[in-house]
A = this chain, B = another copy of it.
Amino acid sequence: MSFPNPQIKLTVDAVVFGYEAGNISVLLIQRKYDPFKGKWALPGGFVLEEESLEEAVERELREETGVAINYLEQLYTFGGVNRDPRGRVVSVAYFGLIHPDGHTLEASTDAEAAKWFDINDLPQLSFDHSHILDMAIERLKGKITYEPIGFELLDTKFPFSDLEKLYSTLLGRPVDRRNFRKKINSLKILDELDEKISLGAGRPASLFRFNETRYKQLQKEGIIFEI
């Protein structure tokens, strides 16, 4: 009782999603050491005694990839007996989102390289990481319909069409432009800016910004975001 399970190790792993040009990507690292040396894996590593789980994830992400995350939540804890060849390792997986401008990568420590992969074109992954990733993708797809986390994947200022494209990508089906706009506008969680952006051909688009204050107020009033 005084020294229980000294053999069980604890790690954290992060599934960080990015979005650019209509594609959802996930951040992976190439392992520098065994096991799975040279193979791709989710960023992550052992939790230190004096840090919380969130601190551990943020540290590992910083060390292995150099990214600055802007949304992070716990995903699930994977505790199967044989999920790690080094012995009994339980991993708390996190789910993160990042703005496109945080995309610049710098691999170091345990990582040989850090790279974005389109979620439809993934390499083979180490450990049970493809299982973790599947769960994270499911969570992302499910969650955007009832919480406004989609904005965390866009620039702070974005044209409406970016949001629409993001939703139709994640939902895997076309989204009616007029109905979608109506829905979002009815919640008044977007502020229309005076700026416009002109992307090649076509009429320039107004830029919008997510109004988090307004959203938090809505939450308090019990009004729920739903697409």
Copies in the complex: 2
Interface residues in A3-34 (C-beta closer than 8 Å to B):
4-10, 33
Asked if B50 contacts A81 (CB within 8 A), the reply is yes
Contact stretch, chosen from A72-80, A158-166, A196-204: A72-80
Give complex CA distance A7, B92 in Å: 17
A79-95 near B? 1/0 per residue, CB < 8 Å? 11100000010101000
Q: Verify if A207 is at the interface (C-beta below 8 Å from B).
A: no
Report B-chain residues with C-beta under 8 Å of the C-beta of A74: 76-77
Report B-chain residues with C-beta under 8 Å of the C-beta of A10: 5, 8, 10, 90
Contact stretch, chosen from A41-49, A97-105, A175-183: A41-49
- Beta-carbon nearest neighbor of A79 in chain B: B53
Asked if A77 contacts B49 (CB within 8 A), the reply is no
CB distance from A138 to the nearest CB of B (A): 14
For A48, give its contact among B5, B53, B77 (CB under 8 Å): B5
Q: Verify if A186 is at the interface (C-beta below 8 Å from B).
A: no
Report B-chain residues with C-beta under 8 Å of the C-beta of A90: 10, 47, 53, 92
Give complex CA distance A88, B4 in Å: 12
Asked if A52 contacts B77 (CB within 8 A), the reply is no
Asked if B49 contacts A88 (CB within 8 A), the reply is yes
Q: Verify if A51 is at the interface (C-beta below 8 Å from B).
A: yes
Report B-chain residues with C-beta under 8 Å of the C-beta of A49: 5, 7-8, 88
Beyond A81-B51, A92-B79, whether A4 also contacts B8 by CB under 8 A is no
CB pairs A–B below 8 angstroms (24 shown): A1-B33, A4-B9, A4-B46, A5-B9, A5-B10, A5-B46, A5-B47, A5-B48, A6-B6, A8-B9, A8-B47, A8-B49, A10-B10, A10-B90, A49-B88, A50-B88, A52-B79, A52-B80, A52-B81, A53-B77, A53-B79, A54-B79, A77-B92, A79-B92
Assuming A5-B47, A8-B47, A49-B88, what are 8 further A-B pairs, CB within 8 angstroms?
A4-B46, A5-B10, A5-B46, A5-B48, A6-B6, A53-B77, A74-B76, A79-B92
Residues of A that sit less than 8 Å from B by CB? 1, 4-10, 33, 46-54, 74, 76-77, 79-81, 88, 90, 92
